[in-house]
């Protein structure tokens, strides 16, 4: 089991209705994000943040959701392409990459 497995398990027990699904997020990430952000979170595109670093993703989920919906710099907007639920699943996956 990954280092963060217990954290996700605890979150899933605490918030059954809202818990994001990092496994679902991993599939969506591979399809929509990995060509810029790298399969393991280490960026392919130089300007993209390194999600494998412990200092990455310090912002709360809702802030990251807003950034992904709106797009940022070279990153396209995902509003209308992905549901908020899907984006939150991806954010849950991103948090397992550190
Ligand atoms: C075309 C390349 C590209 C794609 C595709 C892409 N990104 Fe990005 N992403 C970037 C770049 C470049 C940045 C840095 C933007 C900046 O700060 O100028 C970034 C920034 C981010 C950030 C940091 C935002 C912040 O506020 O700190 C997150 C989180 C993120 N991307 C998630 C995703 C997710 C999730 C997907 C897939 C749904 C995705 N990105 C798809 C290039 C991309």
Asked if the model's pLDDT at residue 76 lies above 60, the reply is yes
Enter the pTM of the model.
Answer: 0.86
Q: Which of 45, 49, 74, 75 to mutate to test the pocket of ligand 1 (most atoms within 8 A of CB)?
A: 75
Q: Which domains does the chain have, with CATH numbers?
A: 20-94 (1.10.760.10)
Q: Rounded CA gap, 15 and 17, in Å?
A: 6
Across 46-83, b (16+ Cβ under 10 Å) vs e yields eebeebeeeeebeeeeeebbebbeeeeeebeebeeebe
Q: At 72, give phi and psi (nearest 5°).
A: -160, 130
Q: Read off the pLDDT of residues 38-71 as tens digits, 9 standing for 90 and up.
A: 999 999 999 999 999 989 999 999 999 999 999 9
Q: Rounded CA gap, 76 and 53, in Å?
A: 23
Distance from residue 43's CA to the centre of ligand 1 (Å): 10
Asked if the model's pLDDT at residue 19 lies above 70, the reply is yes
Facing residues of 79 across strands?
82
């Amino acid at each position: 089991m990954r280092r963060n497995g217990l954290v996700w398990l605890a979150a899933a027990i605490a918030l059954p209705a809202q818990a994001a699904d990092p496994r679902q997020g991993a599939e969506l990430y591979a399809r929509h994000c990995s060509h810029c952000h790298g399969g393991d979170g280490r960026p392919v595109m130089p300007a993209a943040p390194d999600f494998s670093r412990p200092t990455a993703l310090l912002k709360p989920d809702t802030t990251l959701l807003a950034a992904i919906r709106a797009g940022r710099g070279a990153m396209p907007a995902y509003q209308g392409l992905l549901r908020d639920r899907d984006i939150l699943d991806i954010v849950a996956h991103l948090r397992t990459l550190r």
